[in-house]
Chains A and B, each alone.
Chain A
Amino acid sequence: MTGTRPAPGARFFDEAAETRSRADIETMQLERLARILPHAYEHSPLVRSAWDAAAVHPRDISSLDDFYERAPFIDKTTIEHWRTDRRDPWGGLLCLGESELTTILSSSGTTGAPTLSPQRWAPSDGPVPAGLSRDLWMMGLRPGEFMMMVIFTFRGPAFGMAQQFGATPVLVDYDADDMLRFCELSLRYRPTCLYNLSSVIVLAMADACERGGYDPTDVFASYRALVQAGEPLSAKARAVVASWGAPMFEHTNVGDVGTAFQCPEHDGLHYWEDDTLAENLDPSSTAPVADDERGELVATTLVNGTTPLIRYRSDDIVRLTRTPCACGRTHSRIWPVGRKGDGVVVDGRTILPIDVWPAVEEVDACDLGLFQVIREAPTMDRLRLRVGHHASDMHLAGIRDAVAGAVEARLGVVPEVELVPDAELLRLGPPHKIPRVAAR
């Protein structure tokens, strides 16, 4: 954004950018593609290899349609193979010399070992995309206010989004044991936005309110936005958040290329098409699916010249629409649905983690909703679940039966249930989410 900040009552942080016409968005995307594609082809060994194998060159791309028709895909497996086969820790994506790097962060590691994320920051700007200021404004934060940050550190300085916006971050550890402090700081500084919630943290906040004698409606009275990210909140956690009386906004990443947040309409998550070109394709082919239908998110960066992902098949199943939102913003919206390959077929029926979730958390000892579907093969004779609990060992048989009964009642299949302490599953997480599907 250029110029001064909008008036506090303004609807948009950057109206011109947020309400571009579809034609303007596509013109801008093509201009940016014309810069990023030659750069990626020239400097990224993986991108060059993929394009050479497809006998396509960036100069062949003169329209978005050319790109959609001709540009080859890459995916997590391609990158992983490059990493292991060629002993290249950057997966063939790094476009800079290693001496130019300033920072090496890492992925969450939810679906495998953490992988390296090399970055180059300018000292003055850090890694914060400018679009995040639009998101914070959209959710109701204003410069000069306090923004509560409850987050881990390994993904980088998330608090930078508040500072860049002109707000002051209040820093609380992503740890159930720090939630009494969260209550105290909320009452002292009266933050207006919170980043970010997960089911475990929601229940820890509720527990801290109870232990500390705090009225949760008072603790949350100042918040205009509670941001939730990582994985969907459990039904129980959603009910708890609803009782606090503050609006919740979902947040997700967009194919490891951009980010998306809900606006006050709560009708899909906006991502900014200035930095992310997203397609929604049939998960088993290269054909686009219709607007607002489920498909696989395929993402291309328009701005990341360090490790450019070009036509990256994310494995994320989403709905995507380019229809302008009732909020007035014209950039596309997505609705996360799940991960490709997370389903397991039992008795001819496809079962997803999201189908199992409510059954698990209705058992009191398992109400954190921590579980994994054990998927040894795409089709299995029996549904196998590993379920977290917080009960004494003497009650395990009853808990196992209760979980099995709840699953059978909802899904019509009797699962095989392995119980493990909650902590054992939480330890698998990054920690805002855990892998919901395990091979064994």
Chain B
Amino acid sequence: MDGRPLWAIAAYDDGSGRVPWPVSHTEIERTMGGACSTLAGLGVRAGARALCCSVLSESAHFWPLMIGTMINGGVFSLADATVGDALRVAMFARSLQLHAVFGVNEAILDGLDDLGIAYADLFAGIDVVGAHPGAYERLLAAGLMPHWFVLCGPAVAIATEPGGPARVDPTEWTLASDGDRILVSNLQPRAQEFVRAPTCIRGRLVDASGFVPNPGGAVPYPTGEM
């Protein structure tokens, strides 16, 4: 769409599984701008350290956050959002005085449990703990005040405050719902158009850019199947 090869073929969950997602350089670069604003609102500014926990196919979701952190003058670190990489998450949390961690999921919490690490203690000093549905509820039950961090189809939705609704970039996306299934449409040109595209997220819309996930709010699908 911009004369350059695609930035990547990434993936997102549409509720039936992970589907291929062609992404252009232009949309990634544009998304970085929105990510900078979101991050600044969360306090990720000069000197702040943020840890992003993801797997490779989620790179189109996370890359704007990483570069946005850097553009804002912060420092980012990376860990895989897997059981096996929970030790790395713990290492960063203990050694870097993190301001934010994005992408905490149940696999990481399971890994911390296996290691005997109390995640309530591990994350206690971190201002912004962005957690996926499932992990969010477990952190809440452990006495923490997480922010919603939701991969809502191709969009990233982050709460601006603990307990507040998860919000997508309103200049890029608009949300709708089909029952409690969150649907997403793009507002700017993209390599792949989304028109009320189904996502794996269930929740309650609060407006065209915000929603509150239902408890355990992701639609389950068989791991590893398309």
Q: Which residues of A are at the interface with B, using a C-beta cutoff of 8 A? A: 89, 99, 101-106, 109, 113-114, 116, 121, 123, 143-144, 146, 149-157, 159, 163, 166-181, 184-185, 188-189, 426-427, 429, 431
Contacts and interface: CB of A to CB of B under 8 A. Distances in A.
Nearest to B224: A177
B95 A171 contact: no
A177 B49 contact: no
B13 to A, nearest CB: 12
Interface in B152-178: none
A153 B56 contact: yes
Interface stretch (B82-90, B126-134, B194-202): B82-90
12 contacts: A104-B75, A113-B87, A113-B91, A121-B70, A153-B56, A167-B5, A171-B59, A173-B56, A175-B82, A181-B11, A427-B84, A431-B82
Contacts of B88: 106, 109, 114, 154
Contacts of A176: 224
Nearest to B49: A104
A114 B91 contact: yes
B226 A99 contact: no
B27 interface: no
Interface residues of B, number: 44
Contacts of B70: 102-103, 121, 123
A431 B114 CA distance: 17
B18 interface: yes
B42 interface: no
Interface of B: 5-11, 18, 20, 46-47, 49, 54-57, 59-60, 63, 66-67, 70-71, 75-80, 82-85, 87-88, 91-92, 95-96, 114, 223-226
Most A Cβ at <10 Å: residue of B60, B71, B92, B224: B224
A105 B10 contact: no
Contacts of B78: 105, 153-156
Identify the 4 closest CB pairs spanning chains A and B, nearest first. Answer: A177-B224, A170-B9, A173-B55, A168-B6
Contact of A163 (B7, B66, B79, B95): B7
Contacts of A189: 9
Nearest to B67: A123
A106 B57 contact: no
Contacts of A175: 55, 82, 224
Nearest to A121: B70
A426 B5 contact: no
A99 B95 CA distance: 16
Nearest to A184: B226
B120 to A, nearest CB: 22
Given A109-B87, A168-B7, A427-B83, A159 B57 contact: no
A146 B79 contact: no
Contacts of A99: 46-47
